[in-house]
Structure 1
């Protein structure tokens, strides 16, 4: 017997032994209770997975035996989830336990969709599903402000393009240079930059200088944020009111100036222009309606 045939024979013997030990050969049989599935060596897990996938094809979906075989496949291949999850350990957000749970969903999807007839190892097939599920988790949960997926992908393009151009130009690229490099319009570049601000959110209680230690009484971002200036609204209203005042006749402008500029009473205004207080009230009310309508328009 040649070395090649001996190796083939030994491989078949190991496969047959594993199949016989767990009692689920192609002729059927009882599905046993496997203990400590997580301790199975990766090579043994690959061999046993093939057996269980073959058994799944023979069992009716929804039966107790089918669920047992499916759950066993999940338990045996959890090491793939932990391997894939470890690649995302330093992403800065997302608890590792959450990442493993999300990766397990990807593993389950891979088990449900795997076909033994495909010329691909289950491990390669499963890792794609696991990593894809984890990436989707980060895409949907790590943004402080939800933005469309198109803008999330544009942010990645901008970051990559900025790094490439910064290396060549030895400075930060302009919007125009980024647009030319990425073959996008300048409006799209600006839109992506604005959307990128929604990736992270900072506390207004953080120190103004992140490099300095946060001492008691130190100035925070909240201390330097501006507040709306109520005087600005007054200025805008006066600028809007000026042309409307010019459209009033002389007596209406004079009454407005005495009432609001000199703060005279209606009786004092009436005495000054030689009319009754009641007449002043009617003129004032009519004029204010005219001004208010003009402001609202």
Structure 2
């Protein structure tokens, strides 16, 4: 790592001392915890985007890579190269934790960071294993279905029926059908794929025949549900909503027009919006 000054000036002209760590990745975890507190404290007064700030941030990342390796070790890689991928995505979680950590939380950085790292790794497995996320029980049923299908196909010389699979797998016929449907989620097909029976050039594709949800329809339903709730508001509350969301005035501008403080405007808007939200989500309780 390129050498950096041990003393720098932040934008408030206060002297900020940054320790120079020669080999951040080789710092012992116990020492990394202590040094991390120092670097987070310094980063709080450094201007984001400066060379010094980037040095502090990069050093924090490298010093805490042991957290990523620890979290990655909890996941068994199914392919030889996958562990490298797990470490890479875990590092993304570490970076997010560093960018969002605040010393005022009075919590150890390790405690704060590990959930971010593990969450990023779990998201990696979720997004790369199945084209569409399905419950674990159906993922397991898909594996058993494949085994049962192969066994019965060899034994019977033909594709097995749902009833035959049901008997072998000790599942109901509905559960077998559900597992078959879930199997379709393991691989996806491009919307640009040609529809069977159509010519490859100039023929219809899946995107041509699949319906699409009309966003205007959902908007219409929301407006229809919101109208009576707005009608039930006091005139002042309706005026506040009009000024904020129709005329798009700031809270300060609304306060000047109505002769109240910005804090009052904020409180009234929050209360009114909360009432409308409750009415939309729980219409029977509104």
For the aligned pair, the TM-score class normalised by the smaller chain equals 0.3 to 0.5
Q: TM-score w.r.t. structure 1 length?
A: 0.45
> Whose Rg is larger?
1
Q: TM-score w.r.t. structure 2 length?
A: 0.46
